[in-house]
Amino acid sequence: MKAFLSRFVRTVDAVNYRTGRFVIYGIFLMIGILLWSSVSKTFFEPSLWTLEIAQFAMVSYYMLGGPYAMQLGANVRMDLFYGEWSDTRKAQIDAFTVFFLMFYLGVLLHGGLTSLAYSLGHFKGDTYSFFLGLITGYEDVGRLERSPTAWRPYLWPIKLIMCAGVFMMLLQAISELIKDVAKIRGVSL
């Protein structure tokens, strides 16, 4: 069991680390999009797509970078008490509070998958059976949801990225729980 948990932690940490290191450069993409937006509004015809694509880039940056930030401990904490505690005490508190995060992420993932199914044209029935049907070929994609703006991009790609980010964050939370329990027990992974 220890080998499985150790492999799980190493795999999740490696995937989230590499994804985070790749996504970190998305800030340059956002800068480029917003720079083009400013230039086109000043000197040319304003582009319809710039604001919305900048929002999509920011969502991708935030959602896919979240597990990386969690892994590095770069998330915001209330250090009034936490900073003075021993590593074991911190691990105990983190092992308790991570369940609230996992519950929240589970609810968020369920809502995200429901919204993704809607954007793929599934308007009735069970969301999970729809995705299973897509995989097995018993379901077809319906009328794809589009943004109500003038540019009208499809929304399923960004919803898919959001669901992937929440899922990766959930896996990272489980990895952090395993590391905290190992630290409490004095076991190394």
Range with the poorest average pLDDT among 14-18, 36-40, 62-66, 176-180: 36-40
Other beta carbons within 10 Å of 29: 16
Helix (H, G, I), strand (E, B) or coil at 151: coil
Helix (H, G, I), strand (E, B) or coil at 150: coil
CA distance 32 to 24: 14
CA distance 116 to 63: 15
Whole-number pLDDT of residue 123: 81
Widest distance between CA atoms in the chain: 63
Domain count, the chain: 1
Digit-coded pLDDT (tens) for 115-155? 999 999 888 888 888 888 889 988 888 889 998 888 899 99
Q: Is the pLDDT of residue 26 over 80?
A: yes
Whole-number pLDDT of residue 149: 86
Digit-coded pLDDT (tens) for 172-187? 999 999 999 999 999 8
- 30: its two tokens: 């956002």
Other beta carbons within 10 Å of 75: 10
Whole-number pLDDT of residue 65: 94
Domain that holds residue 51: 2-185
Q: Is the pLDDT of residue 75 over 80?
A: no
Whole-number pLDDT of residue 174: 97
Query: Which amino acid does the sequence have at 158?
Result: I
Digit-coded pLDDT (tens) for 101-114? 999 999 999 999 99
- 26: its two tokens: 């998305």
